[in-house]
Structure 1
Amino acid sequence: MNEIIPAAPGTPDKPYFGIDIPLMRLLGLQPVHMEEGLCRTRLPANPNVVNSRGDVHGGTLMAVLDFTLSGAARSHAPLETGVITIDMSTHFLSAARGELTFEARIMRRGAKIAFCEGEARDATGTLCCVARASFKLVKLVGGD
């Protein structure tokens, strides 16, 4: 059975599955769930992250997907493993509006590289964006 990691292990200054990501705090991202091979996050509606049409900006979607995908990549040992994004491909399928949920999964993880896929959905369940990424896995120095 997979170990379930609390949404925010550690201290309030490391809210993102045991690490702190200032950009995610700025965007208002909320950690939801992590277990081995899976990561979920939530982005509440925020007028500061939209484009001129009022849709969530593509750069915001890409940044949150990158973080959520990386969460899946390090989900086997989130307090000991960091990641470096090697490559990410994103496809925008529909306008993203309001509150969004993100889910990412491991496709394959080796000793040094992880391949992940993920998606963003709006509150109605509409698929807004999909992404695939590869990550270099690195041991966190002084990880706690």
Structure 2
Amino acid sequence: MDDSANDAGALHFGRRVPFLSTLGLKAGQMRQDEATVQLPFRPDLANSAGALHGGALMGALDFAMSAAARAHDPGVMVATIDMRTSFLRPAQQDTSIVAHCVQRGRSIAFCEARACNAAGELVATASATFKLTSAS
């Protein structure tokens, strides 16, 4: 599943999430237990040191993992229960994120993600637990 994220009304893997448009997040691919996203670097997303603000990166990581959690059934709703992020180096350019659902039960999913810069260097890792609910 591919969509573009160019404005607040854009779809991100079938969902309208205005915050993701604010970040400029671009949905990549969503497959069984995996999702990819791109977070283009912009100066207005930078921290005082000129690198991508950790909050912007965490938002992108959270979304990528939530998409991986529901990749088996895009109609499922997810809510983040817990998230842990480790920042390894400053992200000073476009960032690519690959997220995987490593375990899913009836109501809980466990996911991991890796964020890399344009040079392929690892800038952050994350893990999260999500509550799964029906969309109705």
- Hey, what's the Cα distance between the residues in 2 that align with 1:89 and 1:130? 8
Distance 2:83 2:41 in 1: 24
What one-letter code is carried by the residue in structure 2 that aligns with 1:85?
T
Shift of 1:140: 1.2
Q: How does 1:8-47 map to 2 (within 5 A)?
A: 8=3, 13=9, 15-47=11-43
**Equivalent position SS for 2:11:** coil
SS at match of 2:12: coil
2:111 corresponds to 1:99 = no
State how many pairs are aligned.
133
TM-score w.r.t. the length of structure 1 is 0.89
Instruction: Kindly indicate whether residue 98 of structure 2 is the aligned counterpart of residue 138 of structure 1.
Output: no
- Aligned counterpart, 1:70: 66
Q: TM-score, normalised by structure 2?
A: 0.94
1:14: Cα distance to partner?
Answer: 5.0
Match of 1:127 among 122, 125, 130: 122
Structure 2 residue 76 is the aligned partner of structure 1 residue 81:
yes
Q: Which runs of 5+ in 2 are unaligned?
A: none
1:105-131 deviation per Cα after TM superposition (whole angstroms, max 9, x unaligned): 011000100000001100000100000
Residue number in structure 2 paired with 1:3: none
Q: Percent identity?
A: 40
Which residue in the other structure is 2:110 paired with?
115
Task: Determine if contact 2:102/2:112 at 8 Å carries over to the other structure.
Answer: yes
Q: Which runs of 4+ in 1 moved over 2 A?
A: none
Q: Which runs of 5+ in 1 are unaligned?
A: 1-5
How far apart, in 1, do the equivalents of 2:84 and 2:18 lie? 23
1:98 Cα deviation after fit: 1.0
- C-alpha separation between the residues in 2 aligned to 1:121 and 1:30? 15
Secondary structure (helix, strand or coil) at the match of 1:97 reads: coil
